[in-house]
Structure 1
Amino acid sequence: MSSLFCCGSTKPFRPAYLLHQAKFTAFMTWAKFPRSSSPAIDDAERVDLVALQPPYAIQLVQQVNYGPLESKRYFVPIEGSETEFVEVVEDDLLQANFKKLNSYKNFKCEEHDKFFEVNVYQKDPVNRHHWRVNIARPGSTIDL
């Protein structure tokens, strides 16, 4: 398990009120330091997003300020709760056909020189009869 944020002094960077503000607020309230999480690695413990059908997913990107990317992590709300989240892997979002929305918030930690980006993903609204996983799109390009 690893901590989601480096410490408790992470502050919003250029805050703005967005259309999906409630999703950001719910996630940030849950993710407060010292919250830690890790995705289920083996198939027996993994979350089936196709069956669960979460309303949205959150991507948490951590990097050194103006430096290299340290991690990309994904979270979905637990069924029946908008205040509890579970970590999933990127491939789960691909299989469930989630797409990145143009809605994000940035956070910064001056103490550790870290920058955090929080993005919202939602299921792509397509005709389910004709839907299939886009096998031509590799997992590392999900957030283009």
Structure 2
Amino acid sequence: MSALFCCDSVRPYRPQRLLREDKFKTFMTWAAFPKESTASTGGGAENVELMELNPPYAIQLVRQVNYGPLESKRYFIPAEGKDNEFLEVVEDDLVRANFQKLNSYKNFKCESHNKFFEVNVYQKNPVNLHHWRANITRPAGGIDL
């Protein structure tokens, strides 16, 4: 388990009000320091079947040193039947369920630890899965900047 944010002094960086503001606000309230999480898959655990759970969206949390190396990319989905709760999933779960990054993100910065955080929203791609070729733009980690 590891903390999602480095401390409680993480602040918005160039804040803007967005169309999906409620999703960001719900996630940031849940993820507030000292929230810890561990991926629900990997380490011998079973894969999460997002096609069955059918979450309305997913959140990506990118953590890096400010103007430096990437420390982590983590993914979360709203917990089914629980308000304001999230489950951590791995990128492969999102790829299999055909989730794609939307052009909707918020940035956060921690001055005291020199950390930068980006929060992105993912939603299921509306294209027909029957005609979709999974190998065209995958793995997503290879194209996600």
TM-score by length of 2: 0.91
Deviations 1:11-47 (CA, angstroms, capped at 9, x unpaired): 0000000000000000000000000001021564432
Corresponding residue pairs, total: 143
Task: State the shift of 1:82 in Å.
Answer: 4.1
Q: Supply the RMSD in Å over aligned alpha carbons.
A: 1.6
The question of 1:20 aligning with 2:20 is answered yes
**Which stretch shifts more, 39-48 or 95-104?**
39-48
Cα displacement string for residues 115-140 of structure 1 (whole angstroms, at most 9, x for unaligned residues): 00000000001125x25561342242
The residue number in structure 2 matching 1:62 is: 63
Compared CA separation, residues 138 and 82, structure 1 to 2 (3 A): same
Where does 1:8-87 land on structure 2 (aligned, <5 Å)? Answer: 8-40=8-40, 41-42=42-43, 44-87=45-88
| CA deviation profile, 1:53-75 (whole Å, cap 9, x unmatched) | 00000000000001111000000
Distance between the aligned counterparts of 2:59 and 2:18, measured in 1?
A: 15
**2: CA distance, partners of 1:27 / 1:142:** 24
**Structure 2 gaps, min length 5:** none
5+ residue gaps, structure 1:
none
Question: What is the letter of the counterpart of residue 125 of structure 2?
Answer: D
Match of 2:108 in 1: 107
SS of the equivalent of 1:143 reads: coil
Question: Percent identical across equivalent pairs?
Answer: 66
- Output the TM-score relative to the length of structure 1: 0.92
**1:124-135 correspondence runs (5 A):** 124-128=125-129, 130-132=130-132, 134-135=134-135
